Structure 1
Amino acid sequence: MSYLCPLCHTPLNEHDRQWRCVNNHQFDRAKEGYVNLMPVQFKHSRQPGDNADMMQARRAFLDGGFYHPLRQAVCTLLDQALPAQAGQVLDIGCGEGYYTAQIASALESRSIKTFGLDIAKVAVRYAAKRYPQVSFCVASSHRLPYADASMDGVVRIYAPCRAGELARVVSAGGILVTVSPGPRHLYQLKAQVYEQVVLHAQKEEILPGFALEREETLSYVLELPGEQAVNLLQMTPFAWRAAPAVFQSLAALERFSCETDFTIRLYRRNP
């Protein structure tokens, strides 16, 4: 499968480390193997997405295995629910590839090709260098650079994406797996930042063209050393609201207990 040109939406073909469309729009393949399909006119900032500090914190935390149960649950669900003849799977908002690489490994015996997409170039560069078995690109999740009905499965862990784009790229009978925070996700960490902790609101996501087939929760308690508690805070949106003293107090702790609470949903694309 080729990518679609983000400018004219025609197929891109690879020629000598370049992806090129019939209208001669060209995109270089980086030495790490990924392709940047994020034209400058589509950017809302110079470096969209997570910055290097956030990416490094997330990498250190995830490499510690603290979200391994979530990764395993997503991979198992994918393998069970994907159509028998599935050929391609996409991880939207793949970051540094922690989930993407395991998805590729779990589906390797079925010869399913795995793609990863993220808006953050620094994360995709790292992912492509570390996981060459995955096809990574820098692109907007609101303008997916893939052909209609080209993906038999899509994974979306926290990442935003237009419902119409999901319906466009997922094949008939294909699946969408989403992960969102449950009501008490990271409750104790939030309590370090906010005087009053508000539980995550739970609402059913309506996705035209899809039927909700399964919903489950995954909850467990993290037991973190102080430096990993800091990494966890650094990779969350509410890190922006945390005073320096919060980071200092977490770093000084020998052990920090914190709840996880994930909601995992499986949607099936209507035939």
Structure 2
Amino acid sequence: MSYQCPLCHSPLLFTHHQWRCENNHQFDCAKEGYVNLLPVQHKRSKEPGDSVEMMQARRVFLHSGYYQELQQKTIQLLDKYLPEGAGTLLDIGCGEGYYTAAVQAQLNLHQNITVYGLDVAKIAVRYGAKRYPKVNFCVASSHRLPFTDGSLDGILRIYAPCKANELARVVKPHGIVLTVTPGPRHLYQLKELIYQEVNLHPENKEQWEGFELISTEMLAYAMPLDGEQAHNLLQMTPFAWRASEQVKTNLMTEKLFNCEADFMLKIYRRI
């Protein structure tokens, strides 16, 4: 298993705390243990990824357990569908590693699997690398995965964008991709506070060349939230950009805000 140079696409070798390719492109391993494989020319902004405010709100919300059912469901599906003898798994758009670390810990109870976490936000990866040293973190673009062809047994993709041809390039034959997308009523009550007319979230019927869809499951449940957690939920989503200050203030004063979580989980197998 090897990282791939984001500049020339040659395999990277690790030596003296550096990842280096045959063309002498070098990428230092940070003191926290992650490697930055996002060249300046591939950045779309100075600091790509979610804002600090979004990450802080997500951290508090996730570690309060409201998405633990989703976390455990992803572990269950990966454990069921990963090919026998699987040795490598990548979490695309891993953020600070909430799902990544849990997957790494649970899957390694009965097998030996190397888990990678990838995100475009360096501050999130730095935090994850410090907190979860058993996960291999890297800063990189999900549109240019820094992995060699056919090197991954599985990929976890929770909301993260990535082109199908790039997934097909890095996943081994018979390997899998687990995608998580919003179900029809995901965060419906939150959207009611922001939009005059609320529509159900449409299913994204992705057709991936080189893959077959082998499983589709739904996960839905109610989340009773106090005002602070309801505000955190808003702040960690793109809805925060559209919410008025009055909506944010009102949420903070809620004693009980019932909101639906609704997820669609699909397993694709590489043909």
Same fold (TM over 0.5): yes
* Contact persistence 1:181–1:262 (CA under 8 A): yes
1:88 corresponds to 2:88: yes
The alignment partner of 1:110 has SS state of coil
Distance 1:40 1:69 in 2: 37
CA contact (8 A) 2:223 2:259 kept: yes
2:118 counterpart residue number:
117
Residues of 2 paired with 1:177 and 1:230: CA distance?
29
Question: Taking structure 2 as the reference length, what is the TM-score of the superposition?
Answer: 0.98
CA distance in 1, matches of 2:19, 2:204: 40
* Structure 1 residue 14: Cα displacement: 1.5
Q: In the aligned structure 2, how far is the partner of 1:134 from the partner of 1:59?
A: 18
Pairwise CA RMSD of aligned residues?
Answer: 0.8
Unaligned residue ranges in structure 2 (runs of 5+): none
Letter paired with 1:177? L
Residue 99 of structure 1 aligns to a residue in which SS?
A: helix
Distance 2:112 2:227 in 1: 41
The offset of 1:203, in angstroms, is 3.2
SS at match of 2:250: helix
- Residues in 2 aligned to 1:107 and 1:148: alpha-carbon distance in whole angstroms: 24
Amino acid at match of 2:261: T
1:29 match? 29
Report SS of the residue matched to 1:125.
helix
SS of aligned partner of 2:191: helix
Indicate the residue corresponding to 2:46 in structure 1: 46
Q: Which moved more, 1:19-28 or 1:60-69?
A: 19-28
The question of whether the paired residues in 1 share the 8 Å contact of 2:220 and 2:262 is answered with yes
Q: Deviations over 1:113-155 (max 9, x none)?
A: 0000000111111111100000000000000000111110100
- In structure 2, C-alpha distance between the alignment counterparts of 1:2 and 1:267, rounded to whole Å: 23
Q: Give the 5 Å matches for 1:71-220.
A: 71-108=71-108, 109-220=110-221
Deviation at 1:204, TM superposition (A): 1.4
CA distance in 1 between counterparts of 2:123 and 2:245 reads 25
Aligned 8 A contact 2:119 2:140 in 1: yes
In the alignment, the residues of structure 1 paired with residue 51 and residue 165 of structure 2 have an alpha-carbon distance, to the nearest angstrom, of 28
Letter in 2 for 1:151: L
Show CA shifts across 1:220-251 (max 9, x none): 00011111111110111111111111111101
Displacement of 1:25 in angstroms is 0.8
Contact 1:51 1:122 in 2 (8 A): no
Distance 2:209 2:270 in 1: 9
Moved over 6 A (4+): none
Check conservation: 2:2, 2:151, Cα contact below 8 A: no
> How far did 1:107 drift?
1.0
- Structure 1's unaligned 5+ residue stretches are none
In 1: Cα distance, 2:104 partner to 2:17 partner: 23
Q: Deviations over 1:16-37 (max 9, x none)?
A: 2111111111111111100000
1:95 CA drift (Å): 0.5
Q: Provide the C-alpha distance between the structure 2 equivalents of 1:164 and 1:237, rounded to a whole number of angstroms.
A: 27
Give 1:42 shift.
Answer: 0.5
Return the offset for 1:2: 2.2
**Sequence identity (%):** 60
